[in-house]
Amino acid sequence: MKILVVHGPNLNLLGSREPGVYGAATLDLINSSLSALGGELGCTLSFFQSNHEGELVECIHGAVGEVDAIIINPAGLTHTSVVLRDALLATGLRFVEVHLSNIHAREEFRRVSLLADAAVGVICGFGPSSYLLGLRALAAEQ
């Protein structure tokens, strides 16, 4: 199974960004852990991070015919982006939405996700393990 992992805005700063909320793991570390688990589960992973909504949309469009599913942490765009939702729906690809923090235990505006109802599932609050759990969930469908 081929899986694209998409990281949204500001996640390039993981490790130094609000460590009390997002933890100490860097994006590179999260991606390495995913690659290692992907190897165990027979999945091939590719990764993309951008701070630009349009680039994320282009990446998602480009995934059609290339991957079987997407794991996405849309970051702040979770709560605002009709465009990202439309891009994911346009591809028809199955996707899992993940978040490091528990978005339901934070500010009111973070409780709304414009993507969640279109996702296979949503995993939040487990730090980097949210991504790993998302990968396990997709791999279990094989």
Q: Where on the chain is the footprint of ligand DQA (CB under 6 A)?
A: 10, 73, 75-76, 78, 99-101, 103, 110
Measured CA to CA, the distance from residue 61 to residue 24 in angstroms comes to 31
Residue 131 annotated among the catalytic residues of the structure: no
Q: Which is nearer to ligand DQA, 45 or 75 (by Cβ)?
A: 75
Q: Which is nearer to ligand DQA, 85 or 99 (by Cβ)?
A: 99
Return the CA Rg of the chain. 14
Measured CA to CA, the distance from residue 5 to residue 97 in angstroms comes to 10
Question: Which among 22, 52, 79, 131 is annotated as catalytic?
Answer: 22
Q: What is the DSSP letter of 6?
A: E
Residue 22 annotated among the catalytic residues of the structure: yes
SS3 44: strand
Write down the least CB distance from residue 77 to ligand DQA, Å.
8
Question: Which among 61, 99, 104, 131 is annotated as catalytic?
Answer: 99
For 32, other C-beta atoms within 10 Å of its C-beta total: 12
Q: Which is nearer to ligand DQA, 7 or 43 (by Cβ)?
A: 7
Residue type, 32: S
Tokens matching residue 131: 């991504």
Write down the least CB distance from residue 103 to ligand DQA, Å.
5
**Active-site annotation, residues:** 22, 99
